Structure 1
Amino acid sequence: MPPAVLVEHVRKEFILRHNRAMGLKTRFLALFHKSKRERREHFLALDDVNLRVERGEALGLLGHNGSGKSTLLQIIAGILEPTRGRVTTHGRIAPLIQLGVGFHPELSGYENIFLNASLYGFRNRDTQKRVKGIIEFSELQHFIDTPLKNYSSGMQMRLGFSVAVHLQPDILLADEILAVGDQPFQEKCHERIAELRAQGMTLILVSHSTQQVQRFCDKFVRLEYGRLVETGDVKKNSPDATELSINEEG
């Protein structure tokens, strides 16, 4: 059986543009003076990353700020294309990566449920069967007809998480998203993740929480400056709590 996620020799480069905010006069002078031209810098975010995540497995992605964790997650989700290499996935992916992805600020929370679900390939009649559970889980009943632009960031994360976990994803990609809401709501999210994992869902989690990695993940990998430098079994080789405490979104 093929794995849920297979990352093969993935490399990702970005071009950083400097001096971009130039006026018309400066742009004209740049035609004759190299010193006034826009300066470009190549930034290597990921360098020859290889990763295999089996179906039903839970993997924690660790690393300092800028190590490439979020970039790798976005490539797996299909949001970014690798510069080199390839990623193969099997199953429906639910990416909980960036706030507001898959939502429209002018639409109500209710309308955004259907919009977001459609991106996962669900038809309206299929979403209609789940919409009540999504709203109740998010605890946004009093705000569900309000435009999303009036939601706080926490409310948007609640709605996004609730939609994702009620659409029965085969692969859940979560970038610090399990820190949404107050403690009771976080615990409810944790319980829902545990239920989905028991049903065979694959999880890839970016987190700086030792407890979350130990609670949800079977294995962990650590990235440094875009390279995979360590892999391990969470139970046999638990990630260092001191290291995790300084990990941030990268």
Structure 2
Amino acid sequence: MVNTVEVRHVSKRFTLRHTRSLKEMLVWMSRGRDLSDTFLALDDVALDVAQGEAIGLLGFNGSGKSTLLKLISGVMRPDAGSIGVRGRVAGLIEVGAGFHPDLTGRENIYLNGATLGMSRQQIDRLFDSIVDFSGISRFLDSEVKFYSSGMFFRLAFAVAVHTEPDVFLVDEILAVGDEPFQRMAVERIKQLRSEGRTLIMVSHDLDLVDRICDRGIVLREGRLEKDTDISTAIDFLRQSDRT
């Protein structure tokens, strides 16, 4: 089976700053304390994702789920190891990511679509469908800095699913927006699955993950702790929460 995502012994470290002002910095220096330290968000993580798989990244806050998703998306680069992705990657990592606040919704469809690899001709062809799906035609010519988080989500999701991605990434974003659109978004994700697209998602809604995904990856403190079918992975996480 062809792999669409290959994660090879990936590690990612962040620097944590302890001071916010010159006065604090001077106090810390006078006491001989470090002005920063590092946090290992991912530690030697390795996994393969086959074409058409739906993966749920599970774990408690700070386990490294979102960091791994951002590395796969190309938003960040690993400090060690490598990540290979075959095909077009699209998805929703952060609300409003890829949007320019001073441009209108209409202009941002073209900007965001181009960022996700679509040509001007593709966007022209799919424009009406994107707007219909988003349900925000009334606000299309307003600057997106006036949009609510739900409107951001609607427009970003509509653009992303119309790119016909080979790999679709979702990070907790389905918690945003009203319930009718969330249901529509979930149905569209299921449609992508039925078309053989690869899905990798992060969500604390374990029931939703159980409905959509077939495999679960459990992370703990940056390390891969469990890689199994989604129901077993969710049970494992819930048991961990009790200990």
Q: Same fold (TM over 0.5)?
A: yes
**Is the 1:214–1:238 contact (alpha carbons within 8 Å) kept by the matching residues of 2?**
no
Whether the 8 Å contact between 1:62 and 1:207 is mirrored in structure 2 is: yes
Q: CA deviation at 1:238?
A: 5.6
Aligned pairs for 1:53-202 within 5 A: 53-202=49-198
Q: Is the 8 A contact 1:210 1:241 kept in 2?
A: no
Change (3 A) 1:182 1:87: same
* 1:243 and 2:223 matched: no
Find the residue that maps to 2:219 and give its secondary structure.
strand
The TM-score with structure 2 as length reference comes to 0.92
Q: Deviations over 1:89-145 (max 9, x none)?
A: 001000310112110000000100000000112121210111111111111011111
Residues 189-217 of structure 1 show CA distances to partners (whole Å, capped at 9, x for unaligned) of 11111111111110001011122111110
Larger helix share, 1 or 2: 2
Separation in structure 1 between the aligned mates of residue 9 and residue 233 of structure 2, nearest angstrom: 26
Q: Where does the alignment leave 5 or more consecutive residues of structure 1 unmatched?
A: none
Report the AA paired with residue 148 of structure 2.
S
- For structure 2, the residue ranges without an aligned partner over 5 or more in a row are none
Percent identical residues: 47
Q: Secondary structure at the match of 1:60?
A: strand
DSSP 3-state at the match of 1:115: helix
219-228 vs 181-190, which deviates more? Answer: 181-190
Deviations 1:17-74 (A, max 9, x none): 2224215x976x99xx653676120111000001110001000000101111000000
Question: Which whole-Å CA distance do the structure 2 matches of 1:98 and 1:170 have between them?
Answer: 19
How many residues were matched structurally?
240
In 1, the alpha carbon distance for the partners of 2:95 and 2:173 equals 9
Matched letter for residue 19 of structure 2: N
